[in-house]
Structure 1
Amino acid sequence: MGRGDAAAHAVSERLRSLPSVERLAARLEAPHALAVAAAREAIEARREEVRAGAEGEVDLLERARAALSGAELPSLRRVLNATGVIVHTNLGRAPLPGAARDALAAVAEGYANLELDLASGARGSRQAHVEGLLRELTGAEAALAVNNGAAAVLLAAAALAGDGRAIVVSRGQLVEIGGSFRIPEVVAQSGARLVEVGTTNRTRLADYERALAGGDVAAILRVHPSNFRTVGFVEQVEIETLCGLGPPVIDDVGSGALAAGVAALRDEPPVRRSVLAGAGLVCFSGDKLLGGPQAGLLVGRAPAVERARAHPLARAVRIDKLALAALEATLRLYRDPERARREIPVLRMLDAPEPELAARAGRLREAIERAGGAAEPIRASAKVGGGALPLLELEGPVVAVEPGRDGVDALAARLRAGEPAVVGRVQDGRLLLDPRTLTDDEAEAAGAAVAAALAADAGDG
């Protein structure tokens, strides 16, 4: 038998020595279907290792138990965000304030008066729970909440121009809003016809006026370029001037800046300004700078809002009761601007003072060093994220962790696999943990998780 034949024979023998799925599953304390799935996963993984040349023995039962434990974990679970990206889309965007979490839990516990008027006993509207608050906070005549920001723009375009009539938009505002969703495609799906005016960097009042002279213009769309900025030789028409041209204006302001007194938000278009200018529909998100749940909000003139409310798409994109409960609670906080800045996590992170961040970074570093890890405080910049304020850099203290023998990618993977999972950012071969996007309790938990991951790395050696 040649050397190659002998090696192939050895691999075949090792494969034949593996137990059957049923035999391994019978040794697991779990419902039969779960036990079989875990056993099959462990055996298939070992088969691949043997085919790749692995030798020696492994504990298949322990591997199957680990697979079983993993299967029992929820797929969607808590993550400690140490990236410094405040509105992190991959991590669920805005963390909810305590009042919103409490409201959501209360409604989730049983039934709720979602569409019941408790005073009269008659059927009510789910919009009644937030419309008054939105009118109060923005100065709008009417308001409507749907399930996300893109849906708000789609509904606005469909309601005002979905019968094939024209919507005029500047070429500089034909943006991509994430996930490859582009404004021209959203408008096309609404049934409206897009009329582009101006250029990518300069659009003048005369450009809009020429388009309107052609007739059959149902609306003007203004889109805030929230995830990029054009600088230099640029010109745009302000919202007040657009609203004076005649057709209703759909103003997509993006992230939903409602807060007063937050310096970081000075470059975001205020919702109230667009409403006061007379925009027919102002569209913005609930889970970005507003700091609430995923939602799309439309506020503005009563006739335009009523057309959106009556459109068939409104049913398809309506907001659910859990998001509605969290949204109402978040909006109530805005009635007291100081309380909003204190209790809405996104606003608190944007406005976090240096001493608070330094103290939290210190606790992170101490927890890591107590376990024998190496970490040092450095300066770095956090970002808003979520397609908002792309030029804003929030400088502050962060903790740079030396990753140990296995390297930074292995440390990051260990932390992502933990409970709770911890996500930081990798820079120059070290793991950076930014205290801006952690609470005090989360910083303690993140420090303990990093310490445990470093200790496990050292123990493996």
Structure 2
Amino acid sequence: MRHIFRALPSMDHILASFVEKGGFHGVPRPLVKDLVNDFMDICREEIRSGVITDPEQVALEVLLPRLTAFIRVQARPHFRRVLNGTGVVIHTNLGRSLLAKSAIKAVTEACGHYSNCEFDLSTGHRGSRYSHVEKLLCDITGAEAALVVNNNAAAVFIMLETLAKDREVIVSRGQLVEIGGSFRIPDVMTKSGAILHEVGATNRSHVHDYESAINDNTGALMRVHTSNFRVVGFTKEVTLPEMRALGDTYHLPVIEDLGSGSLYSFEGSGLLGEPTVQQTVAQGADVVSFSGDKVLGGPQAGIIVGRKEYIDRIKKNPINRAMRIDKMTLAALEATLRLYLDMDEAPRSVPTLKMITASPEALKSKARRLADAIRLSLGDRAEVSMKKGASRVGGGAFPEYDLPGTMVSVTVANISVGDLKDALLQTDPPLVARIEDDAFLLDPRTLASTELKLAASVLEQAVVSLTEK
């Protein structure tokens, strides 16, 4: 065993060989050295365990192809592109909404050049970063003023901290939601310094429940849109106009957390129950918060719109600085909002809207192209078929609705779907999809047309890697 250890090539010889062959462009030399050390540790363990039994097995020319492949895989960025074949449009774990082409271009401009982020070009003096999107938000929603922070949780927090710190906020018991990441309305309210006063029952709340709870320490009336669940059957909720009337009577602000938030009405697509921001403002909410990276289809952001007197107070809150958005978010959000100035164009240009509203015919055609590409890549190694199935909007929106479409089912001879799923996480790029009825299922709704051949290619990568083991 000792003579095999002595035969291992030195670090200097390995690095010199890499330099001779052109090296790893874009990979820092210290990282290459660390990865070489990691690889050599693997070789030493293989010697100890008897996998390597001959000095010739550790000769540099023998190890080099394997070492090169190891470095190429390990040196890849940790944050990477992933192909989404799950059919979940707003997939939180996969980065939520995709940006429109104009938003991507705007982000590139913001990253690569100086900008007027906080510079007023009309006066030559310091300006406000919110000015780039505030008018757009007001024009689209009908609100008097607007503010953007880094996500909707921050938006809810700063609204409550500004308008109701140390005072009671009345909320229906049925609206005390929890969303992903253990974000709970009661917990956020406690952290903001507001005092939760819950009223009604889980399934039914009435105007008199709210009115009976109002006292000298009431700071606001609050509605929370139950984005990720629905209570059905014997139910009753106080409407926003009813709450507006109550707020006027007792001179209290009415706050609405819309969660996902939508600027586009999906009623024409058969998706009901998701109020638009425009409707919420028109029905009398004083302050409305919603996400920028969910149904809206923009970057991660918490958007607050409403009456100027309340928005101005929120803007002046010192906490606002800790929650402000950066130039890349600002650029992407402005570009996305501009697309909503034309509601006919928005579903064609905003990827999230385009995927949600895709027609069954278009999805079937896309599935056929994907199936053909997979058959071409895998040949008789796989059984490929098409079947009806359902996608989901995701992002906590439209929880009771499936989006009908056509799926592509793949089974590979002598390879389990579990092994195939795991292997696809190691391909370049990785492909994430679903397992149903002991088959690997890809949903073309969340794959771009330009990604269909790539998805077939990575499937082949995975099958080849499993076959060679």
Q: In structure 1, which of residues 428, 433, 441 is the aligned counterpart of residue 442 of structure 2?
A: 433
Report Cα offsets for 1:156-200 as digits up to 9, x if no partner. 1111012x1111111111111211121111111111111111222
Give the TM-score of the pair, scaled to structure 2.
Answer: 0.89
Structure 2 residue 275 is matched with structure 1 residue 269:
yes
User: Which residue of structure 2 aligns with residue 39 of structure 1?
Assistant: 36
Q: In structure 2, which of residues 70, 74, 78 is the aligned counterpart of residue 75 of structure 1?
A: 78
Q: Percent identity?
A: 45
User: Which residue of structure 2 aligns with residue 66 of structure 1?
Assistant: 69
Alpha-carbon distance in structure 1 between the residues aligned to 2:297 and 2:288: 18
Where does 1:107-186 land on structure 2 (aligned, <5 Å)? 107-162=110-165, 164-186=166-188
User: 1:134 offset after TM fit, Å?
Assistant: 0.6
Structure 2 residue 212 is matched with structure 1 residue 210:
yes
User: 1:89 offset after TM fit, Å?
Assistant: 0.5
Report Cα offsets for 1:254-303 as digits up to 9, x if no partner. 11111135425421022112211221210000011001111110011111
CA contact (8 A) 2:409 2:439 kept: yes
CA contact (8 A) 2:373 2:452 kept: no
Q: In structure 1, which of residues 293, 313, 336 is the aligned counterpart of residue 319 of structure 2?
A: 313
Alpha-carbon distance in structure 1 between the residues aligned to 2:44 and 2:241: 68
Alpha-carbon distance in structure 2 between the residues aligned to 1:53 and 1:304: 72
Change in CA separation of 1:135 and 1:27 when aligned onto 2, cut-off 3 Å? same
Tell me which moved more, 295-304 or 257-266.
Answer: 257-266
User: Which residue of structure 2 aligns with residue 347 of structure 1?
Assistant: 353
Structure 2 residue 374 is matched with structure 1 residue 368:
yes
User: 1:236 offset after TM fit, Å?
Assistant: 1.2
Q: Which letter maps to 1:39?
A: V
Structure 2 residue 408 is matched with structure 1 residue 399:
yes
Alpha-carbon distance in structure 2 between the residues aligned to 1:19 and 1:235: 75
SS in 2 for 1:374: strand
Change in CA separation of 1:52 and 1:388 when aligned onto 2, cut-off 3 Å? farther
Alpha-carbon distance in structure 1 between the residues aligned to 2:33 and 2:180: 40
Alpha-carbon distance in structure 2 between the residues aligned to 1:444 and 1:291: 25
Q: In structure 2, which of residues 62, 80, 89 is the aligned counterpart of residue 86 of structure 1?
A: 89
User: Which residue of structure 2 aligns with residue 220 of structure 1?
Assistant: 221
Q: Which letter maps to 1:177?
A: I
CA contact (8 A) 1:168 1:194 kept: yes
User: Which residue of structure 2 aligns with residue 6 of structure 1?
Assistant: none
Aligned length: 448
SS in 1 for 2:179: coil
Q: Which letter maps to 2:400?
A: L
Alpha-carbon distance in structure 1 between the residues aligned to 2:16 and 2:128: 54
Give the TM-score of the pair, scaled to structure 1.
Answer: 0.91
User: 1:437 offset after TM fit, Å?
Assistant: 0.7
CA contact (8 A) 2:423 2:465 kept: no
Report Cα offsets for 1:332-370 as digits up to 9, x if no partner. 111111110111111111111122111111111111111
Q: In structure 2, which of residues 321, 328, 334 is the aligned counterpart of residue 322 of structure 1?
A: 328
Structure 2 residue 241 is matched with structure 1 residue 232:
no
Report Cα offsets for 1:101-144 as digits up to 9, x if no partner. 11111221110101111111121111111111111111101111
User: 1:325 offset after TM fit, Å?
Assistant: 0.7
CA contact (8 A) 2:409 2:440 kept: yes
SS in 1 for 2:88: coil
User: Which residue of structure 2 aligns with residue 296 of structure 1?
Assistant: 302
Change in CA separation of 1:13 and 1:230 when aligned onto 2, cut-off 3 Å? farther
Change in CA separation of 1:55 and 1:242 when aligned onto 2, cut-off 3 Å? same
Alpha-carbon distance in structure 2 between the residues aligned to 1:125 and 1:426: 49
SS in 2 for 1:337: coil
Give the CA RMSD over aligned residues.
Answer: 2.2
Q: Which letter maps to 2:430?
A: A
User: 1:228 offset after TM fit, Å?
Assistant: 1.1
Q: Which letter maps to 2:448?
A: T
Structure 2 residue 261 is matched with structure 1 residue 256:
yes
Alpha-carbon distance in structure 1 between the residues aligned to 2:32 and 2:447: 38
User: 1:312 offset after TM fit, Å?
Assistant: 1.0
Tell me which moved more, 411-420 or 13-22.
Answer: 13-22
Change in CA separation of 1:237 and 1:53 when aligned onto 2, cut-off 3 Å? farther
SS in 1 for 2:180: coil
Q: Which letter maps to 1:250?
A: I
User: 1:32 offset after TM fit, Å?
Assistant: 4.8
Q: Which letter maps to 1:392?
A: Y
User: 1:204 offset after TM fit, Å?
Assistant: 1.5
User: Which residue of structure 1 aligns with residue 202 of structure 2?
Assistant: 200
User: 1:413 offset after TM fit, Å?
Assistant: 2.7
User: Which residue of structure 2 aligns with residue 244 of structure 1?
Assistant: 245
Q: Which runs of 5+ in 1 are unaligned?
A: 1-9
Change in CA separation of 1:51 and 1:429 when aligned onto 2, cut-off 3 Å? farther
